[in-house]
Structure 1
Amino acid sequence: MNKKIARYIQDHEDDLLEAWMHEMKKRESERGPNSVSNEMYYNTSKEFISIIVSNVLDSNDKYTKKMGSFAENIVRLGWPLTFITTGLQVLSTIVYERMIEEKELSAEQINEMLIGFDNWMMPISNKMIEIYSETWEKTVSLQKIALQELSAPLIPVFEKISIMPLVGTIDTERARLIMENLLTGVVKHRADVVLIDITGVPVVDTMVAHHIIQAADAVRLVGARCMLVGIRPEIAQTIVNLGINLSQVTTTSTLRKGIEKALEFTNRKIVSLEGMR
């Protein structure tokens, strides 16, 4: 039965593809991709049909390789898994109905064909879900690593002065990364002053302040001074209300003021060119 279905799909590929895309376009606004060009949509759908046929006509290794490549492509395009599984069900229904229409079958034969279609579709659906999930987890893991690498960079801006701009929330894992990058960067860049810029941190609570104090203490232990810049009025009020002690950390309201202080700490200052005439 599986080979009959695969051969039928091959022989009527263009008509089936047209009917399938027409049906899937109706579902596009609900759960499918709505920013993909018609050409990309057509090519991806055609590839999907080729893979479905490959399940029967090719070796298992070749079929798995094709399915893996397809899964990577649709994950990159942002197509949800529900849209893909629905697509398989719709295609199966279209092929089944057309095969039934072309033959005069008894009730028993129709029931046998229905069972055959279920046996054909389930392994394909399960394989797609398995490979899609693995590909998605791999993609998310790689993105997480990339974001972690960018989430706490220590940037040297002047000789002996470095800045760590922080954006977003700070959890325990990120706080650990901040600490590691600070200590590694201070030694690497031979920094005497490090500015932690929290302008982009939406909330500073007790936990966040505790992590910042720990980072400042660690920086002092390796012979550098730590400054906290970007203290907005609402953040300052929160820190006071929580009774957080930042007396050991130099603070400023803006990054510019922080850089000016950092230059003073290293016996330098910003001089206007007009003042030098």
Structure 2
Amino acid sequence: MHSSVVQAINDHQEQLVSNWKKEMARVQEEYFKNSLPDDLVFTNNEEFIDVLYSSVRLERSEAEGKIKHFAERLIQTDWPLSYFTQGMQAFRRIVTAYIVPYINNAEEDSMNLIVEVEEWVDAIVNQLVDDYSDSWVKTLELQQMALNELSAPLIPVFEKVSVMPLIGAIDTERAKLIMENLLDGIIQHRSQVVLIDITGVPVVDTMVANHIIQASKAVRLVGAECILVGIRPEIAQTIVNLGIDLSTFPTKSSLRKGIESALELTQRKMVRIEHGAEWRA
């Protein structure tokens, strides 16, 4: 950027920042009324100004590092990116209106200076958006990995009996993870019977049913039995209407009934202790 523009931005920092904050108060009132906490607005505005001025005071790599760190913090605090793109546009207007007349009144030179200010602001906007997007994608990937790890565990409940509770929608990628966790867990826990609990699965369509059938067949191949539990009335009706054949393995309406069947398959049963409020296998 032209040295005279940099000098003018630095020399008039106090007035520029004051005008910018007034403009941002208008932006907040118009677009983000009552949706952003005032204390966080103040903190973020102060850091935002620091990021803007770092781009004219620091080496390029250092300035880009500050913008990247700022974008990552926006993601962590769930801050709307549009607030800062609006802020950049406000800063562009203020610099153009306030600084350029102080530098040169010649029409051609003024236009060149305006172009330089535009390019400077655009570069910051582009990096901020790119870094924000990259951070958002990475955060989403980490959350998805954590969710996948937690959403398909195989839990041993009795000796030789394990349960896999499924929660949420099941797509192809998640089905692969379920299959891997299922087979690895059977070997690790030496399970003879596995209960696949679909109580928390909102929709069972043909694709989901096929994934479950494939999982059941895989369980048999490693020497275990599979019982499908959590068949709610609406799920049962959907399965019938779709013509899905689940006759190849047992189904139970509840986890408790499934556990009772699993214990029978392993030559055990549930008995109630007369003087205690508990069941034992």
Question: Shorter-normalised TM-score: what interval?
Answer: 0.7 to 0.9
Q: Please identify, of 101-110 and 240-249, the stretch whose mean Cα deviation from structure 2 is larger.
A: 101-110
Show CA shifts across 1:203-251 (max 9, x none).
Answer: 1111111110110111111111111111011111111222222122111
Relative to structure 1, the CA distance from residue 25 to residue 222 in structure 2 (aligned partners, 3 Å threshold; closer, same or farther) is: farther
Q: Which residue of 2 aligns with 1:139?
A: 139
Equivalent in the alignment of 2:178: 178
CA distance in structure 1 between the partners assigned to 2:276 and 2:127 by the alignment: 73
Q: Give the 5 Å matches for 1:24-173.
A: 24-28=24-28, 35-99=35-99, 105=105, 107=107, 110-173=110-173
8 Å contact kept, 1:33–1:79:
no
Residue type at the aligned position of 2:91: L
Distance in 2 between residues matched to 1:29 and 1:210, nearest whole Å: 52
Q: Which moved more, 1:35-44 or 1:197-206?
A: 35-44
| CA shift in 2, pair 1:103/1:2, >3 Å | closer
Deviates more, 1:237-246 or 1:106-115: 106-115
Return closer, same or farther for 1:236/1:11 CA change in 2, 3 Å cut-off: same
Q: Is the 8 A contact 1:154 1:182 kept in 2?
A: yes
1:169-192 C-alpha deviation (Å, 9 max, x unpaired): 211111111111100111111111
- Unpaired runs of 5+ in structure 1? none
Distance in 2 separating the partners of 1:50 and 1:267: 71
* Alignment match, 1:261: 261
Inter-CA distance 114–104: structure 2 relative to 1 (3 Å threshold):
closer
In the superposition, relative to structure 1, how do residues 71 and 3 fare at CA in structure 2: closer, same or farther (>3 Å)?
Answer: farther
Q: Distance in 2 between matches of 1:30 and 1:159?
A: 62
* 1:268–1:162 Cα change, 3 Å: same
By how many angstroms is 1:276 displaced?
7.2
Distance 1:7 1:197, change over 3 A: farther
1:195 aligns with 2:195: yes
Q: Which amino acid aligns with 2:135?
A: T
Alpha-carbon deviation of 1:6? 4.5
Cα distance in 2 for partners of 1:108, 1:2 equals 14
What code does the residue aligned with 1:205 have?
Answer: D
Q: Does 1:274 align with 2:279?
A: no
More displaced 10-residue stretch of structure 1: 20-29 or 67-76:
20-29
Alpha carbons 1:154, 1:185 under 8 Å: kept = yes
Secondary structure at the aligned position of 1:157 is classed as strand
Q: Number of aligned pairs?
A: 277
Give yes or no for contact 2:9–2:99 (8 Å, CA) kept in 1.
no
Ranges of 4+ aligned residues in structure 1 off by more than 6 Å: 101-104
Distance 2:33 2:212 in 1: 42
Question: Kindly, what percent of the aligned residue pairs are identical?
Answer: 50
Q: 1:258 to 1:163 in 2, by over 3 A?
A: same
Could you tell me whether the CA contact under 8 Å between 2:5 and 2:113 is conserved in 1?
Answer: no
Separation of aligned partners in 1, 2:74 and 2:33: 10
C-alpha separation in 2, matches of 1:220 and 1:240? 24
Deviation, structure 1 residue 34: 5.7
When structure 1 is superposed on structure 2, of 34-43 and 68-77 the one drifting more is 34-43
1:223 aligned residue: 223
Task: Please give the TM-score of this superposition, normalised by the length of structure 2.
Answer: 0.86
After alignment, is 191-200 or 262-271 more displaced? 262-271
Aligned-residue offset at 1:271: 2.7
Secondary structure in 1 matching 2:272: coil
C-alpha distance 104-9 of structure 1, shift in aligned 2 (>3 A):
closer
Cα distance, 1:245–1:34 mapped onto 2, change above 3 Å: same
